[in-house]
Structure 1
Amino acid sequence: MNLNLEKIKRAQENIKNVARRTPLFYSSTFAKETGYNIYLKCENKQKTGAFKIRGAYNKIASLTEDEKKRGVIASSAGNHAQGVAYAATAFGIKSTVVMPDTAPQAKVKATKGYGAQVIQYGEVYDECYCKAIEVQRQTGATFIHPFNDEEVMAGQGTIGIEILEDLPEVDAIIVPIGGGGLISGVAVAAKTIKPSIKIIGVQPSIIASSKASFEQGKIVTLPGVKSLADGISVKAPGDLAFEYIKNYVDDIVTVSEDDIAYGIFCLMERSKLVAEGAGAAAIAALLSNKVEIQGKNVVALISGGNIDIAAVSKIIDRELIILGRRIRFVVELQDKVGQLGQLVTNVVSMGANVVKVRQDNNWNEKGLDYANVLFEIEVQTREHAQKVIDTLREKGYNLEIVG
């Protein structure tokens, strides 16, 4: 085990002209909801949209001239891919990245844009890794591991230094964990500077390989499953990273897919931050009360923001419905001129926003003089929704809530 603060500081020097020093800011909204003083470390504002450029650039900077000449290859669910592509191009090195068939197209397109050749293979990261090793053997390219490499960990550990420099009074850092490279680097840096600090990892409950390994004290391999937090969906932590996890990490908790989606939604609505699933894992753990900390000052590491806009749209729609802020109902109307317009006026006058209206003139059991009209409306709160429904019924409208 050779990862230490000195090595992380050398990485900080290596990447200082490339990686951004990302903002750390206090969130009064999340503080009120959780009871902690919540600070957000925004690696979603990093170049390439995620923290991975730190480790990838530091690793490539450390390669010998012979290794650089042979080019580099990596496997990645998306963010490491972009970091490797960016760093390799900066050094004038050929790069190839194997990504899952299911990788968000935003990440695939960006990786190609940074100069890498992309091979898409498999459903989850671990299948990509096997394919990348196969290609590496055929080409002789230098493999850049996304997490199980001390130079990569050192690059990621620069985040820990930045947090302690900006907030010396921090009591705990909540870190997304998959293979373990990020949390290893952050933990070594932070605990060396401030031994009392708590480092807590967060992983999706449907593929909590690092948590199972942490609890059993040995590496546990689980079946590959794709989580909304694709960046931390790995079958097993790295063996090298796991040694640092055992020695430096205080706890690992899990979050559900619903927790992750809610975290993404809340970061957008309340903090105006776009985060991918892995990037929202830390705040998801805090919002779902999965973390218990003695101290008050807590940093949630928002590790990345590379999420498909189509997924964002689905999450917003879903959360609005779950929260009762978007509702659907069917109203029976007489098929007369002005009836539909009057209903729309009534809805809007109560402060609701009409999202969708669909009128079906042919299928009311009372005959052709009546129509069923499907409404989808947005409201401010669940209570507001109930008030709209109650008022419409008081006005004589026959309506039924639908899913």
Structure 2
Amino acid sequence: MQVSLETITQAAALIHGAVMRTPCLPAPKLSLLTGADIFVKYENLQVTNAFKERGALVKLSSLADSERERGVIAMSAGNHAQAVAYHAARLGIPATIVMPEPTPFVKVAATRGYGARVVLAGEVLADAQAEAERIANEENLVWVHPYDDAAIISGQGTIALEMLEDQPDLDCLVVPVGGGGLISGMAVAAKARKHGIEVIGVEAALYPSMIGALRGEAVTCGGATLAEGIAVKNVGRLTLEIVRETVDDILLVDEATLERAVNAYLTRQKTMAEGAGAAGLAALLAYPERFAGKRVGLVLCGGNIDPRLLSSIMVRELAREGRLLSIRITTADRPGILGEISTLIGRLGGNILEVSHHRLFLNVPAKGTTLDVTMETHDPDHAGRILSALEQAGHSVRTLDLGESRI
């Protein structure tokens, strides 16, 4: 089976009514942030909160009765796992899912909740794939690859068909890249449907596997990335061939920009994006000149993010924006000093969130004390005015990095 506009349109008919036709809507706040005219495809609204349902259902529906009886196995960092588990349960197919051990608990729990047997193995997808292949051979299970499969790729390509039906004037599609299944299907569909449209891929800088494969270069892949859904060391053979023929460019984004994109989706669009889901927006934040003035379609391909991680990202972004300030004040140890400092900060409009009072630091005079203060401010200029006022009042002040030890 080869991937073509015909196989993708057939996939669209097959999944109709079983997979949500998600909206593709203008995002004026993100447009203002980036300088591009942005339209977002909200695949985080799927039942499993990610686009993977499309390809999974197409693949599972293609199985013969004898294959369904044997059961299926897949490896995934989470979203493909949930998609296979969910639709396998709907179709009455036993499913085993192998996931890397660091997979966010929210994804592991959801996959088990759909009735699949979950096996945790290894640190990255390559480790999980090796274990899945071993189990598949041992138990004679049918392999459902997360990206290097024509049925899977055709299913993912239905996203581009819907985007161009809803927004036919798009100049460019910006698509997250892991193993390449999503961008392969979307690129085939988009290029067949609209002449001249650009398809741009985005990889996490820690996992530039597709760029390395396209260039025939050995690249280093590894590290803890926010975009674990696209943290792939080995791209697919079929996807590499399609990407080489159809994709215009691939960009890399760093971790700080991924965090900024996740935060922007939450605070500006009021929607949840996991790291991989926000990679497209991260590219526009990292390379604004590349997309300035263009009508850009973004795929918010997944929203499965751990709530604690999301909370941490929001706090870190407040610090980066100068709206959360943490300082260490060294001053005289006398009655009323804490009240004076609090009054000064409050008078200038700072909102104190946390205070830690120390007297036993050996680098502080015996009659001195230190105060660690975390506060909300309006912006960096406002924070600077508070720091200047504290110093003018006779206190020694230095800023602390977020998370710096207060002991």
Provide the TM-score with structure 2 as the length reference. Answer: 0.93
Cα gap change, 1:207 to 1:373, in 2 (>3 Å): same
Q: 1:380, 1:156 → 2: CA distance? A: 43
Which whole-Å CA distance do the structure 2 matches of 1:220 and 1:91 have between them? 41
C-alpha deviation, 1:14, in angstroms: 1.9
Q: Secondary structure at the match of 2:277?
A: helix
In 1, the alpha carbon distance for the partners of 2:352 and 2:162 equals: 46
Q: Relative to structure 2, which stretch is displaced further, 299-308 or 19-28? A: 19-28
Percent of aligned positions that are identical:
39
Query: In the alignment, what sits opposite 2:405?
Result: none
Report the Cα offset of residue 83 of structure 1: 0.4
- 8 Å CA contact 1:222–1:236 kept in 2: the answer is no
2:337 matched to which residue of 1?
Answer: 339
Greater mean deviation of Cα atoms: 336-345 or 179-188: 336-345
Among 260, 263, 269, the alignment partner of 2:261 is: 263
Cα distance in 2 for partners of 1:61, 1:350 equals 64
Q: Structure 1 residues 221, 91: CA separation in 2 closer, same or farther (over 3 Å shift)?
A: farther
Distance 1:238 1:365, change over 3 A: closer
Q: What does 1:194-273 correspond to in 2, within 5 Å? A: 194-216=194-216, 223-273=221-271
Residue 327 of structure 1 aligns to a residue in which SS?
strand
SS of residue matched to 2:276: helix
Matched, 1:38 2:38: yes
**1:272, distance to aligned residue in structure 2 (A):** 1.7
Opposite residue 322 of structure 2, the aligned amino acid is G
Evaluate the alpha carbon distance shift between residue 227 and residue 42 of structure 1 in structure 2; reply closer, same or farther with a 3 A threshold: same
Structure 1 residue 333 displacement after superposition: 4.6
Within-5 A mapping of 1:2-401: 2-216=2-216, 223-289=221-287, 292-293=290-291, 296-363=294-361, 365-368=364-367, 370-401=368-399
Unaligned runs of 5+ in 2: 402-407
Contact 2:208 2:219 in 1 (8 A): no
Distance 1:163 1:26 in 2: 11
Of the structure 1 ranges 223-232 and 185-194, higher mean CA displacement relative to structure 2 is found in 223-232
Report the CA distance shift for 1:103/1:115 in structure 2 as closer, same or farther (over 3 A). same
Distance 1:25 1:95 in 2: 35
* RMSD over aligned Cα atoms: 2.0
How many angstroms apart in 2 are the aligned matches of 1:307 and 1:291?
29
Q: Deviations over 1:138-159 (max 9, x none)?
A: 1111111000111111111111
Give the CA deviation at 1:337. Answer: 4.7
The one-letter code sitting in structure 2 at the alignment partner of 1:7 is: T
CA drift at 1:294: 8.3
Cα distance in structure 1, aligned partners of 2:140 and 2:195: 42
CA contact (8 A) 1:136 1:142 kept: yes
Conserved in 2, the CA contact under 8 Å of 1:350 and 1:388?
yes
Report SS of the residue matched to 2:12: helix
3-state SS, counterpart of residue 192 of structure 1? helix
Distance 1:290 1:138, change over 3 A: farther
> Offset at 1:263?
1.4
Tell me how far 1:400 sits from its aligned partner: 2.7
Q: Could you tell me how far 1:206 is from its partner in structure 2?
A: 1.8
SS in 2 for 1:207: coil
The answer to which of 351-360 and 93-102 deviates more is: 351-360
Q: Distance in 2 between matches of 1:341 and 1:52?
A: 56
CA–CA distance in 2 between the matches of 1:162 and 1:85? 25
Distance 2:33 2:224 in 1: 29
> How far did 1:371 drift?
2.5
TM-score, normalised to structure 1, is: 0.94
Matched residues in 2 for 1:145 and 1:258: separation? 30
